[in-house]
Structure 1
């Protein structure tokens, strides 16, 4: 079976599983893991020979870029303590705890190899978290913290992973140069991400085809990742920074690019995840075959490591709760009570990055010897993924219901209404201050249409402001046919022009609000999408 046929089959299966998950109310990443694991043992399906060096740059950049576009800089400014506490410190503690556990479980293993598998299993996956937690009405405050954690935790994990692998492969011990490399990995990555976003914006401004900017954003994450990697900076941080910066500078009038880009990246995220889980899952067949009779013991070790990972996260979240209460506020991390501690602990789902890092372990060292304990390390990482993704993915709805940690639909609806009301006021202010003479609105028909449009926005709100029948149909009752048609055309022309001006002001206001710390980016994106749909020109 050719690689192309495998990829096409994986994409089709992924699409079907998304539909099955919606019907059965099961998260599709969980279904992908189960089906991918089962497919790895179907006779006649040969795994493609994926080079370990290709796994990370092939699958990680588009998934990180897609997820980061749904966040905003304002979220990180408001949650920087949570990002530091969870995406940096918790990852470092998890790496150390897992490394120590692996050294204890596998006598004779090099510390670098143990830390490498610790780095692989330390970071929760933002794609898995969003796919599982999003539809469950988990409070947005908790979801936003999990997303913020998931976007940046891969960076530290990947840097530690690469340093640990270099130590094992070359035999060199990490030292001061490693610490400097860690510092450069962050600083250099931010510079690469900002520069790439600026260059992409300059190029996009010169592209007239509305599809071309979406194609540019598909190439951008790969280019950014490879450029950062060539400079020995963190490709993960560079991709996230580029995505956030690109989203930050969205043009309010770029309606078609935003609509096509949003739909495009939803499709890319689903298909890349499906293909990655399928192809990487098939790679596990060779690993399981290499394990042979020792597979049972390796799975037992994986179970021990999974328990350590969950316990470390639980203890860390309890510490976060103590910190929040001691400061008398929730500005450090999210958990405000023990129920939220349990939810955040159980939501630390590992995903594609864990499996990709594990399979990115080199097969041989610099002197040509087999990489020590590679098979067992991959089995441990796969076991942690199953324990932290499949089990929570299937049981998180029950946990949320049992603990009563679910957000009412009225909360999200109220947030949308507040933002829509703000956009409506911006539209009304624009209609009140526009220059009628400059826009050619200096006749009685224009004044009449302007009054009707103001009344409609004031009465219905911006989300529905463009709906209904366009004023002018009542002209059909007038006796003179030519005059009737002229008035009708004039009214429709002025309605479209004025409505376009009002909607543009509303879009600008929503984008401004999206960059403010108190605004949930997801709520802003939903309101903005409705405005874009009202603003999109008909073919």
Structure 2
């Protein structure tokens, strides 16, 4: 019951912290972590633990799925060099560097456990990157690189972690077998992802109910993650492949499902992210209490590990800049300022804490695991240094570096896509047998309706700012008028809902149409 009350409290806290974050312009996941850590230190707050083995299976599948839905195979094809350099090779380099520094500064920690610690702190967290970096005015090119890296880097880190933990418990060694193990696990997970996407696609074609079809998108990431873990494949890769393949399989006639699913996942992602970061903050209290007086003796080693994790990422990003970037079409990073931003966005999070807490407490012979307390404290410290500090200062850093804003280019690209969609719609209207049967006046009215987007976005007036401002003022006035009219209609329907003799369900149907009309107003 205490854990259930804690989760409900975190859900309410997430809603409150989101409002606070919007007002003070700070990312809500970081505020959630800080406030939950402070609240956990209060004497009347119960000390509740969550099983470390449940943290990743509970939170990672839906959050990975939500992030991967915003990507596509074309992005992966375009960014495959970044994917290999950052999600695989940078993770491996960070593991090696952190393990070497740990072994040198803290000899009591054996090499297998040092490698496990390296795997724990190596991968930036996709949830943290998406929740924090996605909320600042960052160029889409940089954000896409961070998102692509974050979707897959956990897979490499988890394979190394599992091999290192096995060697630690059995007093063995970590060999090169992790490489084929990673490749085989990733290939098997990809096949499972494609299969799950096919199953979900078939299911949504069979089930007519929109809510049930949206619910299938929640079940799918959990199902494929657990199935992949059972057959010793990468649950991370399986979830990402499922999400991206489902996006590829989307059908034009599924507009209602897309609207329902989008709203559903927006709410789910916000609440899950808030609870996940809240639990991270609460678990950090347990780390501090468990280590207590030992924390001061850990400081030199922890400082070295934190510095190494940040330095390796900076050197790697600088090397990518020096060789001309990872991609041929567009250089990324393209400047030293971008090197700094990409380094600062190497935020650790959920996976780091979950893997740290999953370290075994005893070896195969029943003796305590030497160095475990240090490893857990070091992982928690890296999380604070690479998540809390960058998360609170990233908006300030972006302003200080004066990176160019590509919002104008985004708007031009969006207008081009809108015009492309409109051209196809008008052509389909001209050739539609159903349209040919309409009276001439109705056909012209329908054509004007299809052309409304073109009327609003008929040209790019970037060269004439004054003309653009006049157009925007007219559009804003039109939107306000439409919103006022629709607001009056909604008030009338809400009043009708409380009047005797009116069926509330029928009123709700009209309200839904009015709500949809409101949220789809052209901007």
Shared fold by TM > 0.5? Answer: yes
Q: Which moved more, 1:212-221 or 1:233-242?
A: 212-221
Structure 1 residues 458 and 98: CA distance shift in structure 2, 3 A:
closer
Shift of 1:71: 1.0
- Counterpart of 1:82 in structure 2 is 82
- Counterpart of 1:108 in structure 2 is 108
Residue 253 of structure 1: SS of its match in structure 2?
coil
- Counterpart of 2:245 in structure 1 is 245
Structure 1 residues 332 and 185: CA distance shift in structure 2, 3 A:
farther
- Counterpart of 1:279 in structure 2 is 279
- Counterpart of 1:368 in structure 2 is 366
Distance 1:117 1:530 in 2: 53
Shift of 1:139: 0.8
Distance 2:450 2:278 in 1: 54
Distance 2:373 2:153 in 1: 25
Structure 1 residues 333 and 148: CA distance shift in structure 2, 3 A:
farther
Shift of 1:176: 5.6
Residue 294 of structure 2: SS of its match in structure 1?
helix
Structure 1 residues 294 and 333: CA distance shift in structure 2, 3 A:
farther
Please give the per-residue CA displacement for 1:429-453, whole angstroms capped at 9, x wherever unaligned: 11122224xx572534444434544
Q: Which moved more, 1:384-393 or 1:404-413?
A: 404-413
Shift of 1:455: 5.5
- Counterpart of 1:338 in structure 2 is 336
Shift of 1:271: 1.6
Residue 205 of structure 1: SS of its match in structure 2?
helix
- Counterpart of 1:514 in structure 2 is none
Please give the per-residue CA displacement for 1:269-322, whole angstroms capped at 9, x wherever unaligned: 222222223334333333322212111232443232111111111110111011
Structure 1 residues 288 and 456: CA distance shift in structure 2, 3 A:
closer
- Counterpart of 1:68 in structure 2 is 68
- Counterpart of 1:505 in structure 2 is none
Alpha-carbon contact 1:359-1:378 (below 8 Å) kept: yes
Aligned: 1:201 with 2:201: yes
Distance 2:157 2:176 in 1: 18
Structure 1 residues 414 and 448: CA distance shift in structure 2, 3 A:
closer
Residue 433 of structure 2: SS of its match in structure 1?
coil
Root-mean-square deviation (Å): 2.7
Of 441, 445, 452, the match for 1:449: 445
- Counterpart of 2:400 in structure 1 is 402
Distance 2:426 2:55 in 1: 52
Q: Which moved more, 1:102-111 or 1:74-83?
A: 102-111
What are structure 2's unaligned runs of at least 5 residues?
459-474, 483-515
Residue 48 of structure 2: SS of its match in structure 1?
coil
Distance 1:332 1:307 in 2: 30
Shift of 1:397: 2.0
Residue 210 of structure 2: SS of its match in structure 1?
coil
Shift of 1:365: 2.6
- Counterpart of 2:5 in structure 1 is 5
- Counterpart of 1:430 in structure 2 is 428
- Counterpart of 1:267 in structure 2 is 267
Alpha-carbon contact 2:159-2:178 (below 8 Å) kept: no
Distance 2:2 2:224 in 1: 30
Structure 1 residues 414 and 456: CA distance shift in structure 2, 3 A:
closer
Alpha-carbon contact 1:363-1:371 (below 8 Å) kept: yes
- Counterpart of 2:411 in structure 1 is 413
Shift of 1:454: 5.6
Distance 2:517 2:438 in 1: 31
Distance 1:458 1:290 in 2: 63
Of 332, 341, 346, the match for 1:348: 346
- Counterpart of 1:308 in structure 2 is 308
Distance 1:530 1:140 in 2: 29
Distance 1:531 1:252 in 2: 22
Q: Which moved more, 1:381-390 or 1:262-271?
A: 262-271
- Counterpart of 1:509 in structure 2 is none
Alpha-carbon contact 1:211-1:260 (below 8 Å) kept: yes
- Counterpart of 1:171 in structure 2 is 171
Distance 2:391 2:279 in 1: 21
Alpha-carbon contact 1:323-1:332 (below 8 Å) kept: no
Distance 2:72 2:246 in 1: 10
- Counterpart of 2:156 in structure 1 is 156
Distance 1:353 1:113 in 2: 17
Shift of 1:155: 0.7
- How many residue pairs get aligned? The number is 471
